Every structure is written in structure tokens, then in C-alpha cells.
Amino acid sequence: MTLTKIYGVLGQPIEHSLSPLMHNAAFVATGQNAYFTAFAVADLASAVAGVRALGIAGVSVTLPHKTEVIKYLDWISPEAREIAAVNTIVNRQGQLCGYNTDVAGAINALAKRVNLAGKRVLIIGAGGAARALVYGAVKAGAEVGIVNRTPERGLKLAGEFGAKFLIPSELVEFAPEVLVNTTSQGMTPHVNALPIAEEFLNSSMVVMDIVYNPLKTRLLRAAEKSGAVTVDGLEMFVGQGALQFELWTGGKAPLKVMRETVLEHLLQKY
């Protein structure tokens, strides 16, 4: 009998995650004997030990564990090490290997709307996803500003990647051409939360929200109202998920199936 390979996502909270829905659809579409589930994780060290002990084939890592998880892994890709954030773990015969697919997922989604080279990009947040966006935007040649509720974290992140930490009174002068929310503000169930004042948004901006549940967050609705070009979190979510699938299985991800599965769920829900 061939054992079913188990995959999962580690996070807290995790009830909102559509990773199981997306990856299980991909496994079925490609004939994989595999199953993906969600793990609500408060004790990360014990959770990673469980991945080893149970022989879990791979996991996705989400809020708030993307940075802390690094110290429990055996090998980190050069890019993930430079970013200091991991969102994907591959279990290779007991060796836990960390990667970051958020960078490509996010930058590829933005690149469909705007050439980041020379643009002023404002990143809201300073967590694991923010690290990926700041890293990717700087690499693409953008001038990056960071705003964060906790100044110490924002200053530290800015210093690591050559970005600017901005206080709210400096945002107008910075005049971002691209704005990306990397926080959980607006995520289900807190759908009315807004990471920045609506009055700040304007028609010359490209506005991206990495939150994908709901598909159209309050930020994106406000951005549309202002005339801005919007990028929803689904593009980054599916893009980074497809890269995870390929790292785990070595096969080509069924991108269309993954996107349509998540989109159908979101459209039914909202």
C-alpha cells in the first residue's frame, strides 16, 4: 500500500485559510496521492518537531510564524535567508528545507500592472510578507517606504533592505505610486478594518492587498472608488501556492485549477 503524503499550513489564526482547498484541488487534478490540511499553531517549535516526527511531506507557513520558523529548519534557500522569512518547507528525507515563494508570487502579480523600476512603493506592515515585498521591490529597482504600527520593527526592516521608514505625517510627501498592504487588516472576519485612510488613495496609484479572503477587501473597494488600479490577493496567493506545489511534488502546478477553485469559493461566499 502506498502511503498518502500529508501536507499542511501552519498559522494562527488559520480558520480563514483557503490553502487546503487550493492544494487539495491541485493534488486531485494531477493524480497525487496526497492530502493538505490546516494546523492552528501557537507552539511553533513543537509543531515543527511534529512535522519531523510524523514525516509530513511539506508545509506552508503563514502569519505569524514566517520569520521565527527559520531557527527550526535544517537548510534555507539563499533568497529566504536574505529575506529572513520562510513560507514553504519541504521535508527531504527528514531534512527540513525552507523557501520563500511570496516574493515571486507578489512581484509577478504587481508586474502585470506596473513596472516597479524607479517607482515609489509604500509597504504597509513589517512582518514576514512585508519582508518579501520589500526585498522584491528593492530588487526590482523601486524606492521603497515602509509604514508600520510598531516603529521599531519598521525601522529595523527598512535598515536591512535600504528602504525608508515613514511616519504617517511623511506619507503625503513620499507620494507612493504603488501601495501594498501586507497586514491582516481587512481579513475575514475583520472585513471592515482599513490599513490606511481612504483619503490617502488616489487615481494615480496601483493598490495591492495581499489579503485574499475576502477577495475584494475594504482597502481595494476604497482604492477602486478613488480610481486607482487594484491588484487583489488572489493573484499572489495562487502564484506563491503554485510555486509551493512544484517544490513539494517536482511537477507542474495546475495553475488554472488552483485559481478557479479558490475564486469559485470566494465568489460563492461573498
In sequence order, what are the beta bridge partners of 75?
A: 97
- Give the end-to-end CA distance of the chain in Å, rounded to a whole number: 42
CA torsion through residues 257, 263, 267, 270, sign: positive
* Residue 165: pLDDT band with limits 50, 70, 90: very high
What is the C-alpha to C-alpha distance for residues 210 and 105, in angstroms, rounded to an integer? Answer: 10
CA torsion through residues 157, 159, 160, 163, sign: positive
Which helix (H) or strand (E) segment is 259 a member of? helix 255-269
Question: Which CATH homologous superfamily contains domain 5-100+235-269?
Answer: Leucine Dehydrogenase, chain A, domain 1 (3.40.50.10860)
| Nearby residues of 221 by Cβ (< 8 Å), 6 or more positions away | none
Q: pTM for the complete prediction?
A: 0.91
The set of catalytic residues is 66
Q: Decide if pLDDT at 270 tops 70.
A: no
| CATH 3.40.50.10860 residue window(s) in the chain | 5-100+235-269
Beta-strand relationship, 58-61 and 34-40: unpaired
Model pLDDT, residue 60: 98
How confident is the prediction for the chain on average, in pLDDT? 96
Cα–Cα separations (whole angstroms), residue 107 to 65, 139, 233, 236: 21, 10, 12, 8
What is the C-alpha to C-alpha distance for residues 218 and 184, in angstroms, rounded to an integer? Answer: 12
Which helix (H) or strand (E) segment is 131 a member of? helix 128-139
Percentage of the residues of the chain whose pLDDT score is greater than 90: 91
| CATH 3.40.50.720 residue window(s) in the chain | 103-231
**Tens digits of per-residue pLDDT, 23-57?**
999 999 999 999 999 999 999 999 999 999 999 99
**Tens digits of per-residue pLDDT, 201-235?**
999 999 999 999 899 999 999 999 999 999 999 99
Model pLDDT, residue 109: 95
Poorest-confidence range of 12-16, 75-79, 81-85?
Answer: 12-16
**Tens digits of per-residue pLDDT, 92-132?**
999 999 999 999 999 999 999 999 999 999 999 999 889 99
- 103-231 is classed in which CATH architecture? 3-Layer(aba) Sandwich (3.40)
What is the C-alpha to C-alpha distance for residues 159 and 209, in angstroms, rounded to an integer? Answer: 24
